A = this chain, B = another copy of it.
Amino acid sequence: MMNLKEEKNLPSKISEDIIALILEEKLQPGDRLPNESILCDRLNAGRSSIREAMKLLASRNIVTIRQGSGTYVASTPGMVEDPLGFTFIVDKKKLVQDLLEVRILLEPSIASMAAVHADDEDIKKITALCDEVENLLNEKKDHTQKDIEFHNAIAMSSKNVVIPRLIPVINSSIPLFVESTGNRLHAETIETHREIADAIACHDPIRAQDAMYLHLIYNRKLIHNLFKS
Contacts and interface: CB of A to CB of B under 8 A. Distances in A.
A109 B99 contact: no
Contact of A84 (B59, B90, B169): B169
A163 interface: yes
A160 B61 CA distance: 28
Given A59-B60, A173-B1, A165 B76 contact: no
B78 A84 contact: yes
A142 interface: no
Q: How many copies does the complex hold?
A: 2
Given A4-B81, A84-B78, A85-B79, A95 B56 contact: no
B87 A79 contact: no
Given A102-B162, A105-B109, A162-B98, A2 B172 contact: yes
A150 to B, nearest CB: 16
Using C-beta atoms within 8 Å of the partner chain, give the interface range for chain A. Answer: 35 or more
A89 B168 contact: no
Interface in A8-41: 12, 19, 22-23, 26
Contacts of A170: 162
A101 interface: yes
A156 to B, nearest CB: 13
Contacts of A90: 23, 26
Given A2-B172, A77-B88, 15 more contacts: A1-B82, A1-B87, A2-B168, A55-B55, A59-B59, A59-B60, A78-B85, A78-B88, A79-B83, A79-B84, A83-B84, A86-B165, A89-B161, A94-B161, A102-B160
24 contacts: A1-B81, A1-B173, A1-B176, A2-B168, A3-B81, A4-B81, A23-B87, A23-B88, A26-B90, A55-B55, A59-B59, A60-B60, A62-B85, A77-B85, A79-B83, A83-B84, A84-B165, A84-B169, A95-B162, A98-B162, A99-B162, A102-B106, A105-B105, A106-B106
